[in-house]
Amino acid sequence: MSNSSSMGNDKKNNNPKIILTGDRPTGRLHLGHYVGSLKRRVELQNSGEFDKIFIMIADAQALTDNADNPEKVRQNIIEVALDYLSCGLDPSKTNIFIQSQIPQLTELTFYYMNLVTVSRLQRNPTVKAEIQLRNFETSIPVGFFTYPISQAADITAFKATTVPVGEDQEPMIEQTREIVRKFNSVYGDTLVEPEILLPDNKVCMRLPGTDGKAKMSKSLGNCIYLADTPEDVKKKVMGMYTDPDHIRIEDPGKIEGNCVFTYLDALSTPEDFKEFLPDYNNLDELKEHYQRGGLGDVKVKKFLNNVIQKELEPIRARRHEFEKDIPEVYNILKKGTEEAYKVAQQTLDEVKASMKINYFDDTELIKHQAEKYSEQ
């Protein structure tokens, strides 16, 4: 992925740097979303390196496996929007929009479906994993099965050059790149090939659940939500999975698979140690003591709780302010969606022109056929 200096060079060369990313509105966003992508989005927004940023609330995508429960999706639009705004996404710098209100995405998906085989979709490891997780197997909805194609429509509609997501989305971005290359080779250079931007911190790529499971997931109930109260956060942290063999304080403890230390890897800073745990200079010293023995889980969990509370406190405060004016939050979404609509329409017009299915705008076609039939 380009570093910031090369991004700056791209801007000087008049190649617009555009971000597209988003989340499914199936519940409030959690710490996994925050360290995996949200925090980075805010940093990218404030970096000044990008010409446009589009953040999508992917409600249509959420319906692919919630078709029988649209109310769940409908109610969570506002939750995700509040989480976005409270994390620091700024509507004056970032377009936040609702996917289902951009019909051009559906049309692009329809055209892209002709460029992808069923076997290629079946090989997508992200789709495979999600099918297993949801126990779909042979009863998989077609909409869910083809969502790598609709995701390609989302990305290409806004000519995104950069897609900041977790590593689990890499196969999806590769699918998009394949579609772009296939479209451009068949119809001419029209679409932009995106690059994935992974989190800097390897730990941030996939924060485990509080129960030690591989993924923080709303459905598994192992999440710390950005909107959780201080009491809820503390309760969840104190109940977190650690080393099951670390029974007595004097016992040596394991770091690997111990999600308390994984969270500290992702979130703690040297300043946190100065503020909350001055007996240690940094995380390495804390780990070394834990592995040697003589350090209890409760002490480490209390430190983690302080670290998380410090990170979430300003987010909670901003959320509380936005909650006071929900109609204004919807107004922000409406404005962002109107801007997204215009951009997607421009791309769709270009796609249809390349595919030669813009019949009413194709004056040459009409003129040629008029001449052809006038000669008969």
Segment 97-154, tens digit of pLDDT: 999 999 999 999 999 999 999 999 988 887 788 777 777 766 888 888 898 999 999 9
66 φ, ψ (degrees, to nearest 5): -135, 30
Write down the pLDDT at residue 203: 58
Mean pLDDT of all residues in the chain? 91
Query: pLDDT at residue 341 above 90?
Result: yes
pLDDT at 339 over 70: yes
Residues present in the chain in total: 376
Confidence of residue 191 (pLDDT cuts 50, 70, 90): very high
> What is residue 24's predicted lDDT score, i.e. its pLDDT?
94
Q: Which of 94-108, 202-216, 219-233, 305-319 shows the lowest per-residue confidence on average (mean pLDDT)?
A: 202-216
pLDDT at 165: 81
Quickly state the pLDDT bin for 220 (edges 50, 70, 90).
confident
**Where does the chain hold its CATH 3.40.50.620 domain(s)?**
4-206+326-366
Q: In what order do the strands lie in the sheet with 18-23?
A: 95-98, 52-57, 18-23, 162-164, 195-197
Residue 251: pLDDT over 60: yes
Q: How confident is the model at residue 4 (pLDDT cuts 50, 70, 90)?
A: very low
Q: pLDDT tier at 1 (50, 70, 90 boundaries)?
A: very low
- How much is the pLDDT for 337? 98
Task: Categorize the per-residue pLDDT at 310 as very low, low, confident or very high, splitting at 50, 70 and 90.
Answer: very high
CA distance 46 to 146: 34
Mean pLDDT of 200-214: 76
Three-state DSSP class for 42? helix
Can you tell me the mean pLDDT for 289-295?
95
Predicted pLDDT at 201: 64
**Those residues with Cβ within 8 angstroms of residue 289's Cβ, 6 or more apart along the chain or in another chain:** 280, 295
Confidence of residue 321 (pLDDT cuts 50, 70, 90): very high
Please tell me the distance from the alpha carbon of residue 240 to that of residue 300, in angstroms, as a whole number.
11
Say yes or no to pLDDT of 185 above 50.
Answer: yes
* Contact assessment for residue 192 and residue 159, using Cβ atoms and an 8 Å cutoff: yes
Q: Is the pLDDT of residue 163 over 50?
A: yes
Write the pLDDT tens digit of every residue in 264-291.
999 999 999 999 999 999 999 999 999 9
State in Å, rounded, how far the first CA of the chain is from the last one: 59
- What are the residues facing 55 on neighbouring strands? 21, 96
Write the class of the CATH domain 230-322: mainly alpha
Instruction: Note whether 89 and 96 are within 8 A (CB).
Output: yes
User: Rounded to 5 degrees, what angle do the CA atoms 154, 157, 158 make?
Assistant: 100
Compute CA distances 360 → 25, 295, 350, 366, 376, whole Å.
38, 75, 14, 8, 23
Round to whole Å and give the CA distance between 193 and 159.
8
Q: How confident is the model at residue 18 (pLDDT cuts 50, 70, 90)?
A: very high
Least confident of 56-60, 104-108, 247-251, 339-343: 247-251
* Reported CATH class of domain 4-206+326-366: alpha beta
**Per-residue pLDDT averaged across 200-220, rounded?**
77
What does the alpha-carbon distance between residue 101 and residue 357 come to, in Å, rounded to a whole number?
23
Whether the per-residue pLDDT at 366 is higher than 50: the answer is yes
Q: Which of 11-25, 79-93, 154-168 has the lowest mean pLDDT?
A: 11-25
Q: Where in the chain is the domain with CATH 1.10.240.10?
A: 230-322
Q: What is the pLDDT of residues 34-62, one digit of tens each?
A: 988 899 899 999 999 999 999 999 999 99
